[in-house]
Structure 1
Amino acid sequence: MSGVFLVGHGGFEKLEYRHDIPVPKPGPGEVLIRVAAAGVNNTDINTRIGWYSKGVTSGTESGGTQGFVSAQDADASWSGVPMSFPRVQGADCCGRIVSVGDDVNPERIGERVIVRNMLRSYVDYRPFECWTFGSECDGAFAQYAKAPSRETYKVECDWSDVELASIPCAYSTAEALLHRADVRKGEHVIITGASGGVGSAAIQLAKRRGAFVSAVAGRDKAKQLLALGADQVLTRGESILGTLDKNSVDAAIDVAAGPGFRELLDVLKKGGRYAVAGAIAGPIVELDVRSLYLKDLTFFGCTFQDDVIFENLVSYIERGEIRPLVVKTYPLQDIVEAQMDFLSKKATGKLVLVIPQ
């Protein structure tokens, strides 16, 4: 089959579009999916460049093209376990089931599905353990992919394959952040990286919960984010204290970290909640521990996802409560162009790869 092999940590040269990749065979409890589309995500790029290694202390963009010399293969995956190469990446998958393994109802063949990107089947559903689709196992950057049947969800809606493929990673990350921070109706939420896939998803999902949303993004993205549902847009790189008062925000939903971290704690109310699932602006931050304990703040690191997260997303889709924002598509063989555009941060919303049929 045709697909993209990641052959090691590093620059774009580590991505090889090939036509001789073996078609995977579903084992017991698994399904084989004819992939139609796959989204582009930070996690795929971060894995390629080795950004998760503790030897890297800067944001993704500085190594997005060529990788990081300081990255160590031993801890360069999100899980801290060395990667196996070659690997078919791709955390987002939309397609149709074409065959099933033992113990799977053959009536599932033909279903249009999406795959939960944080897989628990392969770790026996142990708490706070999971595999990422496209990291610890092969993912969606190929014509076929296999996945656990119980983590492969049929979705009935009028969305296109491309729209469905934009959901798994970004929207589950955003929903998990809001879920862990327990965002409720009437609360004030600040969302960083708001023009990206996770950030734009978080805007929609926070508004679905009835929250007031302050979105942080580039000045040129304001109109689009307001149309998406944000109540106000704060310009990235400028002090948020110029717009928000200290102790005025109930929850911070952060995927940026970096230099803006300190002010997020300043604007949180006493008893406020800070939830983080990314550090695109830089993983090393300055924390005055007094802000943490004197304001009785609660911090949530959000990688693991409870089962209800993905189940809820499917229900939101089928009830028409959310709608993805896909801004551009690419044929799979143009994955380098897609990742370059992703790293440029010029687009608002999701970039999606279309898989050859």
Structure 2
Amino acid sequence: MSETMHAVRITGHGGPEVLEPAEVAVPAPGTGEVLVRVGAVALNNTDLWTREGAYGRSGRPSGWRGPIRFPRIQGADVAGRVVATGPGADGRLVGRRVVVDPAVYDSEGPQANPVGLMGSERDGGYAEYVTAPAGQVHDVTESPLTEDQLASLPTAYGTALGMIERGRLREGETALVTGASGGVGLALVQLTRARGARVLAVSSGSKVDAVREAGAHEVVDRGQDVAGRLRAAAPEGIDVALDVVAGDLLDEGLPMLREAGRWVVAGALGGHSVTFDVRRLYLHNAQLIGSSMHTREHFGLLMALARRGEFQPVVAAAFPLAEAARAQEELARREHVGKLVLHP
């Protein structure tokens, strides 16, 4: 193995132009860590917002959870093979096909909260190799999914399953999925359908067929009377809303929740600031739940589903690592359905 590797990193916040190819040292796995040869790394909105510093407040750009130490190799979603282990790590992982849980947790234990992210708070997978804690490397050697599909899982599907678990979605319930053609949205459609719930999805007209093919029972075009069409599709109400858009739909949608319904928010594509009638919340024992990524337990459940191939992640396109900037520009246009991946 060479002592250096190709990588793409950011040296500051800005547009796609700050993504710079570089030749850097192959990282050495520390105590309890493994070294993974990256087979595929998927793109996420977190890549764009971290690069732009958009998580910070006005005039104070920030990474996912705080200031970034530059230069930083981006890329949270890695699938590959373990090629080396550090002191204290299980040597039996060498040669195994794996998916990396990209979260940096605040404590040990299955319910720990994510407080950092690979590609923001630590170097990620826009490179030929990446290190990761051995306990966060999941063996998926037996999975029927391709490497590109496996790389699509950590952030999008991890976030989706975190929303579903925190919203306590049960078989037979009716779920609303917003932003259904995006990475998290399409994951929500597939995982909600796999759980045996009825799926009502909101998407744009050109992507309705793809969302329906992913498993949605009903798809409402976001360019039309969304609230009215949702009420018509679910006259008895919605049990759980899985929302990555927020904006005006939160105010319009809360009255659609059944008694003790749950509205789970994990994104703000429709706007950061919202207003709603708080009476719709407390008079009906509804719950408004924030959901950020996943716990270790959620990620373990996701990997079990992946090993069995219980869903098929949609990969829209793949790019060579050197074209990371072009891939991020494509992601920002939101004209695709499914995930975009890079091949180092």
Query: In 1, distance between residues paired with 2:19 and 2:29?
Result: 25
Query: In 2, distance between residues paired with 1:177 and 1:54?
Result: 25
Structure 1 position 124, deviation (Å): 4.6
2:187 match: secondary structure: helix
Aligned pair count reads 335
Structure 1 position 287, deviation (Å): 2.3
TM-aligned CA distance change 1:145 to 1:96, over 3 Å: same
Query: In 1, distance between residues paired with 2:253 and 2:21?
Result: 42
Query: In 1, distance between residues paired with 2:314 and 2:293?
Result: 24
Superposition pairs for residues 114-129 of structure 1, below 5 Å? Answer: 114-120=99-105, 123-124=107-108, 127-129=112-114
Match among 98, 106, 116 for residue 91 of structure 2: 106
Residue type matched to 1:37 in 2? A
TM-aligned CA distance change 1:97 to 1:127, over 3 Å: closer
Superposition pairs for residues 125-140 of structure 1, below 5 Å? Answer: 127-140=112-125
Stretches of structure 1 lacking an aligned partner (at least 5 in a row): 56-70
Q: Does 1:171 find its partner at 2:157?
A: yes
Query: In 2, distance between residues paired with 1:129 and 1:328?
Result: 29
1:141 match: secondary structure: coil
What is the match of residue 350 of structure 1? 339
Superposition pairs for residues 55-66 of structure 1, below 5 Å? Answer: 55=58
Query: In 1, distance between residues paired with 2:21 and 2:250?
Result: 38
TM-score normalized with structure 1 length: 0.90
Residue type matched to 1:8 in 2? G
Structure 1 position 261, deviation (Å): 2.2
Residue type matched to 2:151 in 1? A
2:305 match: secondary structure: helix
TM-aligned CA distance change 1:170 to 1:129, over 3 Å: closer
Q: Whose strand fraction is larger, Structure 1's or Structure 2's? A: 2
Query: In 2, distance between residues paired with 1:297 and 1:128?
Result: 24
1:200 match: secondary structure: helix
Residue type matched to 1:22 in 2? A
Query: In 2, distance between residues paired with 1:201 and 1:129?
Result: 20
The worse-fitting range, judged by mean Cα deviation, of 7-16 and 303-312 is: 303-312
What is the match of residue 341 of structure 1? 330
Structure 1 position 22, deviation (Å): 1.6
Alpha-carbon RMSD across the aligned residues, in angstroms, is: 1.6
TM-aligned CA distance change 1:295 to 1:109, over 3 Å: same
Structure 1 position 3, deviation (Å): 0.8
Match among 297, 304, 321 for residue 310 of structure 2: 321
Residues 288-332 of structure 1 deviation map (CA, whole Å, 9 limit, x = unaligned): 222222222111111152222111111111122111111111111
Residue type matched to 1:154 in 2? D
1:107 match: secondary structure: helix
Superposition pairs for residues 265-276 of structure 1, below 5 Å? Answer: 265-276=254-265
Query: In 1, distance between residues paired with 2:175 and 2:207?
Result: 18
The worse-fitting range, judged by mean Cα deviation, of 306-315 and 170-179 is: 306-315
Superposition pairs for residues 35-50 of structure 1, below 5 Å? Answer: 35-50=38-53
CA contact (8 A) 2:159 2:293 kept: no
CA contact (8 A) 1:8 1:14 kept: yes
Residue type matched to 1:86 in 2? P
What is the match of residue 4 of structure 1? 8
What is the match of residue 31 of structure 2? 28
What is the match of residue 208 of structure 2? 222
What is the match of residue 148 of structure 1? 133
Query: In 2, distance between residues paired with 1:50 and 1:259?
Result: 25
Give percent identity, aligned residues only.
Answer: 40
TM-aligned CA distance change 1:352 to 1:129, over 3 Å: closer
Q: Does 1:260 find its partner at 2:246?
A: no
CA contact (8 A) 1:200 1:225 kept: yes
TM-score normalized with structure 2 length: 0.93
Residue type matched to 2:37 in 1? R
Match among 207, 221, 245 for residue 193 of structure 2: 207
Structure 1 position 77, deviation (Å): 2.2
